[in-house]
Amino acid sequence: MSDTPAVSVIDLKKTYRSGLFRRRKVEALQGVSFDVRPGEIFGLLGPNGAGKTTLIKVLLGLVKRSAGKANVLDLPAGDRRGRMRIGYLPENHRIPRHLTGNTALEYYGQLSHMPLSEIRSKRGELLDSVGLGKWGTATVASYSKGMLQRLGLAQAMLHDPELLILDEPTDGVDPVGRAGIRDTLFWLKDRGKTVFLNSHLLQELELVCDRVAILQKGLLRHVGPIQELTQAASPGVTFRLTSDQENLQDALHVLDSAEISWRPIENQGQPTVILESSDQPTIDHVVDTFRKANVSISAIIRKQLTLEEAFLQLVDRDSDEIDDVRRAQSEGAVPTESEKTTEGGNS
Amino acid sequence: MRPYLAVIRDSFREAFATRVLWIMLILIGVLLGLLAPLGFERALSVSLQFSDFQNPQAFIKELRDNRNSSETTAGYVWSRLSDDFKQEVKDVTPDTDRRRRMGVLGRARNEINRLFGEPDFYDKKVWADTRLGSEANELLDRGLTSLSEEERRRFNRLAFEAAFPSHIEASGRDAIQFVYLWYPLGDELPIQETQLQQIGEQVLSFLVSRLVGNIGVFIALLVTASIVPQTLDSGAIDLLLSKPVSRPLLFLSKFFGGCTFILLNATFLIAGLWAIVGWRFGIWSDGLLWTIPVFVFVFAIYYSVSTLAAVIWRNAVVSIVVSILFWAVCFAVGLAKSSLDNWFLDSRRTANIIPAGETLIRLTQTGSGYEWDDENREWRELFEQRRRGGPPGAGRQAAWLGAYYDATNERLVGIRSGGGSRWFRGSSKLAIATQDDDWKPRESIETPSGVRELLPTRNGDILVAGTDGLYRLEGEAIGPADAFKLFGMSLPGLGESAEFVRVDDQSLEWKRPFAAAIDAVSGRVVVNVGDTRAILKETDGRYVVESSYQHESTDEVLLGFLGDTYLTANQNGLIHIFNSNGKGLWDLQSPFGNNEPRQIVTSPDGKWAAVLFHHRKVFLYFNDGEKTGPEFSSLIGQGDISAVAFDADSSFLAADRFGRITRYAPEESFAIKETMEPQPDFLETLYTRFIDPVHTIFPKPGEMENVVTWLMTKQQTIGPDDTDELSASRQVIDIQEPLWSNLAFLAIMLTVTSILITRRDF
C-alpha cells in the first residue's frame, strides 16, 4: 500500500461571501490540516456548522477553497481524474424519483464512465449487498429513507473507487441496516479501500473508525486514534482508601506539595479521592505516597470515556477557548494557525 | 461522451415518466385521429365563389338595371331569382352599410348557385348572342339531357360566366371537394391539385406554427422550468458533480435533455400531420418535417433564458416569469420595428421609377409622387397619396397599377387603382400628369374591368390589356385644366368624348392567368391568356394574332418583350426566354429559388431585361441577337430593391432603401453613373441608427415563423390571400437574420450559464 495520504489537507480555508456586494463573510474553514492514510476508516466529527460538509465539498471540488492546499489521492482536490476514483454519498441525497434501483445505478455508473454492460453485470450483486436485491425494478419514489440511503451507498461503491466519502451513511437506517453498513465498511477496509466518514452517530464512528478528526467552528480541535482522544479526555483515577484521618491528611499534604491535583468525593463514609491526572508516573507516585503514610488503598479505578463523552467534553471545553482565541486573533494579540505555520517554517 | 449521453438518455426517461407528456401525446393523438378522415375528391368547378366576382357591385347593379328586360341574360337571371332576394337588392342604396352589402353579395352567390342546379336554367334564346367557350360547346354538343347532374351544373356555370365576362371570373374546369369520411364539406373549391400542395403547405405552416410554435413551446416551458432548479438542489447536484464530469458539458446535456419534451411532442404531431396529409392529400412535404428542429430551436431560445434564471435564482416560478418577460421584450422590439416598417417607412419605398424626359419621378407604394431635385439633392413632393391610414402591407394593391412617361405627348400616364378590398374595390381610372401642370395627376375615365396592364406605345396611344381584351383610348384623355371648373372648383376627369375601344381581333379567349407586355421597338404585344400565349401585331389600328401557341401551365406569369424574344417569369420563380414563335431559346432558370417575380422591365434598345423579384432581388438578362444569357453584375442594395426601370438611353435604374435610386450603365458592366439619395430625415435616422441595429442584434424567436414558412413554401415573401396577381405587393420575410441572431443569442446564453455554473460553489 502506498504511503501517500489518501487525503491531505494543509491549512485549508474557506470563506463564504454573501450579500448584495458580497461583504458578509462566513469563515467555514480556518486553516485545517490533517492527513487520511490509505486503507483506514477516518471519521470526521463536529457539531453543526463546524465546517464538515464544506470540507467534504472542497475535497470533491464542489466548493472552491479560499486558501491552503487539499489533495485527494495525490491529485488536487476536485480534479476529474481524482473524482473518477472517489465514491461519494452525500447527506440527504436526491436520486431522481423516476429512476428505479437498476436505472439509478445505470445512470450514476455511466456518469462515472462505466460501460452499461459492466454496470448490468455488477448491479445485482451490489444491490444484494446493501439489502436491495429485490427492489432493483421498483421506482425510487417507492423507497423508504433507509432504502434510499442504501441505494446511495451502492451507487458510491459501483465503480469500485479507492476512496469512499460517506456523509451520514446511516442516516435514517434502522439498527439492522446500520449493522449491515458497518459490515460493508469493514469489508471495504479489508479490500484496502479508504473510507472518509462523516456522521453524527458517534457510537457508529467509535465502532468503525481508526482515526477521527474533530472540527469546531472551522478549526481542527483534534486528530488521532479514538483511544488517544478518549484517554486524553479521561476524567482521572479514583482511589478508595482505608486510613485514619491524620495519616490521610499527611499523605494529601505531600500530594499538594508535589503539585498533584486531586479532589475528594463523597462515597458512603469511605475516604475517596479522584486524581485528575491519569498518566502512569503520577499514579505510581500517588500510590507510593499513600503507602508511605500508611494509607491503605482498597481500590484504584481508572474510568474510560466513550467517544461521545470525550467529544462532548472536548467540544464544551474548547468552545470557550476558541472564542478566546478568536477574540485575541481579531485584536491581533495571537497569531493565526497559518501564521504560526509560517513562523515555524522560517525558524 | 458516455456520461453526457447518459444525462440526455435520462431526460427521455424523465419525460416519459411525466403525466403531462402522456396527456399531451394523447391529445395530439386525438387531434390526428380527428384530422385523419379529412380528404378530398376531384370534382368539376360548378359553384360560384366570392372570389369569382370581379366587381360584385357592378354585377348586382346590372341585374337590377335589367330587371324589366327579360330577353337579356341579366334580365333573365333576375327573373329566376327569388322574390325575397329581389326585394333585398331593390332596398340596397349607395348609403347601405358595408355589412349589409356583404350580406346581399353572399345571398346573391347562394341564389346563383341554386340556379346552376336547375335543369332548365340554360335558355338557348336568351344566350343566343353570348359566345360560349369550347368546354361549354363540347357539353352542349353532347346534349344537355345526357349530362350528369354535376356536368349540367358545370355547363350552367360556364354559360353564366360567358354571359357576364366583365363581372364573373372565368373558372377552370377542375375543382377540389373536401370530404370528411364520406361527407362533403361545403362547396367544391376551384383549385387544381397542383395548387392544393401550395395551399396545403400554407395551411400546415400556419397550423404547426400555432400548435407547436406557440402553444407547444409555452407548455414545454412550463413543464421543463423545474428541471434545472431541481438539478441544482442540494443532494442532487452534489451527487452529479462528484462524478468525473465537466460542469459545462453536464449543464449542456441537461439543457438539451430538457428539449426532449418539445422534441417528442413536435415530432409526434408534425410527423403525424405529415403522414396524414401525405396519405390523404398526396402532399409529401419534406419541409414540414424540417420544421421539427426549427421548433425545438425556438424552444431552446426561450429555455436558455429560463435556465439562466434557474441557475441564478434556483426557482422554477422565477424561471417562467423571466421567460415570459423575455418573450414580451422580444415582442416589443419586433413590434416597434414592424410598426415603423409597415406604417411609416415602407410607404416611402419606391414602387415605380419613371424617367420622364430630363427629370426622374418616383411613385411610392401608397401612391405619392416625387421628382428628383438635383440641385438640393432631395425628392420634391409632387402629389400625396390619395388615401391615408392603414399599412401598405401584403394584400394591399398598389396605388398605381402602372405608370410610364409618354415621350410623344410629354405626359405621365398611369392607372390609379381604386383601392379597397377585392370585393369592394373602387373602380380604376386612367390618370394623366404633365410637367406644365407640375405633374399633378388628373383622373380621366374608368378603365375597362379586368385591366391588368398599361402598355406604353411609341406613338403615344394609351393601350390597356386585361382579362376582357386589349383596349385603346380613343379621344382626348384630359382636356384643358381650366375647362372643367364649376363655381371655382375643378371637376375630375373629362373624358365624355374619350372611351376605351377594344382593339384586339377577339380571336383569343381572354382569361386568367393573364399577362401582357409590349415591345418598345416594334410595338408588338405578347399576351398570356389562360393556357395560350400569343403575339399580337398592329394592323390598321387593330391588333391581330400574329402567332400563338398552347402551353400546359396554369401558373401566373409576368411577361417582358425584348426585341425578337420575350421572357416569362412564373410564380415558381422560373424564367424562360422564347422567340416569337413560342420556341424556347434558353433553358429554364430559377435564379432565386421559388420566389415570385414582381416586375419585368426591358430596355428601349431591346438588349436588356431585368426581373425584379418580391424578395427585392434583381435578375438581369442580356440579348443582342448574337449573345444571350444572364448578366451577373452586382447591384447596390440587392435584396432591398423595390423598383427597377430603364430610361430612354437604356440606362438601368434601381431603387432601394427609402428613396435611393442608382443609375447604372449596362454597357459598362453596370458601372454606377449616378446615385440619387436624399439626406435621411429623423424617422429614417432613428430607424437606421437605432431600431434596425437593436433589432438586428436582438434575439427574434418569434420571427422563426418566417423560417417555417420558408421551409414549407420555399418562398421568402408572404403574399396576399385575395389575389394571385404577381404584381400585388408581398411582404418580404427575412430568414437569415432571425436565424443568425437567434443562434448567436443561444450561444451567448449557454456560454454565460456554463460560466456561472463552473464558477459557482454548490
Summarize pLDDT for A151-210 with one digit per residue, the tens: 999 999 999 999 999 998 888 888 888 888 889 999 999 999 999 999 878 888 888 999
Q: Is B427 left (phi over 0), alpha (psi -120 to 50) or beta?
A: beta
Q: How many other CB atoms sit within 10 Å of the CB of residue B375? A: 6
Q: Where are the alpha helices (DSSP H) in B259-374?
A: 260-281, 286-313, 316-339
Q: Cβ–Cβ of B14/A61 closer than 8 Å? A: no
Phi, psi of B45 (to 5 degrees): -80, 105
Please check whether residue B740 lies inside any domain of the structure: yes
Separation CA A99–CA B12 (nearest Å): 12
Q: B295, B261 in Cβ contact below 8 A? A: no
Nearest CA in chain B to A17: B761
Q: Which positions 9-28 of B are in contact with A (Cβ < 8 Å)?
A: 10, 13-14, 17-18
- Tell whether B461 and B414 lie within a shared domain: yes
Separation CA B702–CA B717 (nearest Å): 16
pLDDT at residue A330 in the model: 53
Give contacts of A63 with chain B, Cβ < 8 Å.
Answer: 761-762
Q: What is the DSSP string of B656-673?
A: ETTTEEEEEEGGGTTEEE
pLDDT band at B480 (very low <50, low <70, confident <90, very high): low
Q: Which of A94, A116, A139 is the best substitution to test chain B (most B C-beta atoms within 10 A)?
A: A94
Give contacts of B761 with chain A, Cβ < 8 Å.
Answer: 16, 57, 62-64
pLDDT band at B691 (very low <50, low <70, confident <90, very high): confident
Please check whether residue B380 lies inside any domain of the structure: yes
Q: How many other CB atoms sit within 10 Å of the CB of residue B674? A: 14
Q: B722, B422 in Cβ contact below 8 A? A: yes
Q: Cβ–Cβ of B242/A88 closer than 8 Å? A: yes
pLDDT band at B543 (very low <50, low <70, confident <90, very high): very high
pLDDT at residue A1 in the model: 55
Q: Which of B9, B20, B239, B246 is the best substitution to test chain A (most A C-beta atoms within 10 A)?
A: B239
Handedness of CA A33, A38, A44, A50 (dihedral sign): positive
Please check whether residue B176 lies inside any domain of the structure: no
Q: Which among B562, B559, B545 has a CA at the least distance from the CA of B515?
A: B559
Give contacts of B5 with chain A, Cβ < 8 Å.
Answer: 110
Pairing mode, if any, of strands B174-180 and B38-44? antiparallel
Give contacts of B12 with chain A, Cβ < 8 Å.
Answer: none
Q: Cβ–Cβ of A93/B2 closer than 8 Å? A: no
Give contacts of B235 with chain A, Cβ < 8 Å.
Answer: 90-94
Which residue in the set B7, B235, B240 is minimally distant from A92, CB to CB?
A: B235
Q: What is the DSSP string of B487-532?
A: TTEEPS---SS-EEEE-B-S-S---SSEEEEE-TTT--EEEEETTE
Answer with the one of B507, B530, B549 that is the final residue of a domain.
B507
Report pLDDT digits (tens) over B290-304: 999 999 999 999 999
Report pLDDT digits (tens) over B605-659: 888 999 999 999 999 998 887 788 888 888 999 989 999 999 999 999 999 988 9
User: What is the C-alpha radius of gyration for chain B, rounded to an integer number of angstroms?
Assistant: 30
pLDDT at residue B37 in the model: 95
Handedness of CA A38, A41, A46, A50 (dihedral sign): positive
pLDDT at residue A346 in the model: 33
- Tell whether B481 and B516 lie within a shared domain: no
Phi, psi of B246 (to 5 degrees): -85, 135
Please check whether residue B683 lies inside any domain of the structure: no
Residue A161 has what DSSP assignment?
-
- Tell whether B643 and B715 lie within a shared domain: no
Separation CA B637–CA B646 (nearest Å): 17
**Contact B760/A at CB under 8 A:** no
Separation CA A108–CA A114 (nearest Å): 9
Q: How many other CB atoms sit within 10 Å of the CB of residue B99? A: 7
- Tell whether B490 and B410 lie within a shared domain: yes
Q: Cβ–Cβ of A83/B243 closer than 8 Å? A: yes
Separation CA A194–CA B507 (nearest Å): 103
- Tell whether B240 and B323 lie within a shared domain: yes
In chain B, % of residues over pLDDT 90 = 44
Give contacts of A93 with chain B, Cβ < 8 Å.
Answer: 235-236, 238-239
DSSP 3-state of B20: helix
pLDDT band at A331 (very low <50, low <70, confident <90, very high): low
Please check whether residue B566 lies inside any domain of the structure: yes
- Tell whether B621 and B525 lie within a shared domain: yes
Chain B: closest CA distance from residue A115 (Å): 8
Pairing mode, if any, of strands B565-570 and B575-579? antiparallel
pLDDT band at B481 (very low <50, low <70, confident <90, very high): very low
Q: Cβ–Cβ of B6/A80 closer than 8 Å? A: no
Give contacts of A81 with chain B, Cβ < 8 Å.
Answer: 244
DSSP 3-state of B347: helix
Q: How many other CB atoms sit within 10 Å of the CB of residue B374? A: 11
Question: What is the average per-residue pLDDT within B66-75?
Answer: 87
Residue A134 has what DSSP assignment?
T
**Contact B1/A at CB under 8 A:** no
Residue B346 pLDDT exceeds 70: yes
Q: Cβ–Cβ of B242/A91 closer than 8 Å? A: no
Q: What is the predicted ipTM?
A: 0.79
CB burial readout B390-422, b (16+ within 10 A) else e? ebbbbbbbbbbbbbbbbeeeebbbbbbbbbeeb
Handedness of CA A133, A138, A139, A143 (dihedral sign): negative
Q: Cβ–Cβ of A84/B244 closer than 8 Å? A: yes
Report pLDDT digits (tens) over B304-327: 999 999 999 989 899 999 999 999
Q: Which among B215, B274, B179, B291 has a CA at the least distance from the CA of B27?
A: B215
- Tell whether B163 and B226 lie within a shared domain: no
Chain B: closest CA distance from residue A114 (Å): 8
**Contact B762/A at CB under 8 A:** yes
pLDDT at residue A24 in the model: 81
Q: Cβ–Cβ of B233/A94 closer than 8 Å? A: yes
- Tell whether B78 and B116 lie within a shared domain: yes
Q: Where are the alpha helices (DSSP H) in A29-160?
A: 52-60, 80-83, 101-111, 116-129, 145-157
Q: Which positions 217-276 of B are in contact with A (Cβ < 8 Å)?
A: 233-246
Answer with the one of B457, B490, B507 that is the final residue of a domain.
B507
pLDDT at residue B93 in the model: 77
pLDDT at residue B551 in the model: 84
H or E segment at B405? strand B400-406
Report pLDDT digits (tens) over A74-98: 999 999 999 999 999 998 899 999 9
pLDDT band at B63 (very low <50, low <70, confident <90, very high): confident
Query: What is the greatest pairwise CA distance in chain A?
Result: 84
- SS3 sequence, B41-90? EEEECCCCCHHHECCHHHHHHHHHHCCCCCCCHHHHHHHHCCHHHHHHHH
Pull the grid cell for residue A55: 470540507
Least confident of A51-55, A178-182, B350-354: A178-182
Answer with the one of B115, B137, B171 that is the final residue of a domain.
B171
Nearest CA in chain B to A161: B243
Question: CA of B530: how far to CAs of A7, A272, B190, B534, B549, in Å?
Answer: 88, 128, 15, 11, 11
In chain A, % of residues over pLDDT 70 = 88
Instruction: Give me chain A's average pLDDT, please.
Output: 84
Q: Which among B125, B124, B126, B116 has a CA at the least distance from the CA of B72?
A: B126
Please check whether residue B603 lies inside any domain of the structure: yes
pLDDT at residue A199 in the model: 85
Give contacts of A98 with chain B, Cβ < 8 Å.
Answer: 13-14, 17-18
Separation CA B132–CA B312 (nearest Å): 76
Q: How many other CB atoms sit within 10 Å of the CB of residue A142? A: 11
Residue A318 pLDDT exceeds 60: no
Q: Find the angle CA(B577)-CA(B582)-CA(B587) to the nearest 5 degrees.
A: 35
Question: What is the average per-residue pLDDT within A15-22?
Answer: 78
Handedness of CA B223, B227, B228, B233 (dihedral sign): positive
pLDDT at residue A335 in the model: 42
In chain B, % of residues over pLDDT 70 = 93
Give contacts of A152 with chain B, Cβ < 8 Å.
Answer: 239
Question: CA of A198: how far to CAs of A47, A55, A189, in Å?
Answer: 11, 10, 16
Separation CA B473–CA B502 (nearest Å): 9
pLDDT at residue B571 in the model: 87
Q: Is B439 left (phi over 0), alpha (psi -120 to 50) or beta?
A: left
Separation CA A221–CA A224 (nearest Å): 10
Q: Cβ–Cβ of B3/A96 closer than 8 Å? A: no
pLDDT band at A6 (very low <50, low <70, confident <90, very high): very high
Residue A139 has what DSSP assignment?
B
Q: Cβ–Cβ of A90/B242 closer than 8 Å? A: yes
pLDDT at residue B179 in the model: 94
Report pLDDT digits (tens) over B406-425: 999 999 999 987 655 544 45
Give contacts of B10 with chain A, Cβ < 8 Å.
Answer: 96, 99, 107
- Tell whether B477 and B407 lie within a shared domain: yes
Chain B: closest CA distance from residue A4 (Å): 22
Nearest CA in chain B to A166: B239
Q: B757, B248 in Cβ contact below 8 A? A: yes
Please check whether residue B183 lies inside any domain of the structure: no
Q: Cβ–Cβ of B3/A113 closer than 8 Å? A: yes
- Tell whether B499 and B525 lie within a shared domain: no
Which residue in the set A93, A98, A106 is minimally distant from B239, CB to CB?
A: A93
C-alpha distance across the termini of chain A, in Å: 34
Give contacts of A111 with chain B, Cβ < 8 Å.
Answer: 3, 6-7, 240, 243-245
Report pLDDT digits (tens) over B557-609: 999 998 788 899 998 889 988 887 777 777 778 888 888 899 999 998 888 99
Separation CA B13–CA B467 (nearest Å): 63
Q: Cβ–Cβ of B241/A61 closer than 8 Å? A: yes
pLDDT at residue A42 in the model: 95
Q: How many domains, in total, are found in chain B? A: 4
Question: What is the average per-residue pLDDT within B733-738?
Answer: 85
Please check whether residue B669 lies inside any domain of the structure: no
Contacts of residue A86, Cβ cutoff 8 Å, sequence gap at least 6: A60, A72, A73, A161, A162, A163, A164, A165, B242
Q: B496, B506 in Cβ contact below 8 A? A: no
Pull the grid cell for residue B446: 374608368
Structural domain of B66: 46-171
Separation CA B579–CA B18 (nearest Å): 67
Q: Cβ–Cβ of A62/B2 closer than 8 Å? A: no
Nearest CA in chain A to B758: A62
Instruction: Give me chain B's average pLDDT, please.
Output: 86
Which residue in the set A63, A112, A113 is minimally distant from B761, CB to CB?
A: A63
| A232 CB-side CA count, 13 A | 15
Residue A105 pLDDT exceeds 70: yes
Nearest CA in chain A to B761: A63
Which residue in the set B13, B245, B761 is minimally distant from A64, CB to CB?
A: B761
Which residue in the set B10, B14, B241 is minimally distant from A62, CB to CB?
A: B241
Q: What interhelical angle do B247-258 and B2-17 show, nearest 10?
A: 30
CB burial readout B348-365, b (16+ within 10 A) else e? bbbbbbbbbeeebbbbbb
Nearest CA in chain B to A141: B17
CATH number, domain containing residue B549: 2.130.10.10
Q: Cβ–Cβ of A90/B238 closer than 8 Å? A: yes
Q: B107, B88 in Cβ contact below 8 A? A: yes
Q: Cβ–Cβ of B3/A111 closer than 8 Å? A: yes
pLDDT at residue A325 in the model: 52
Dihedral, CA of residue B266, residue B267, residue B273 and residue B274, to nearest 10: 130
Nearest CA in chain A to B241: A62
**Contact B761/A at CB under 8 A:** yes
H or E segment at B548? strand B542-550
- Tell whether B710 and B746 lie within a shared domain: yes
pLDDT at residue A320 in the model: 57
- Tell whether B423 and B562 lie within a shared domain: no
Separation CA B442–CA B495 (nearest Å): 11
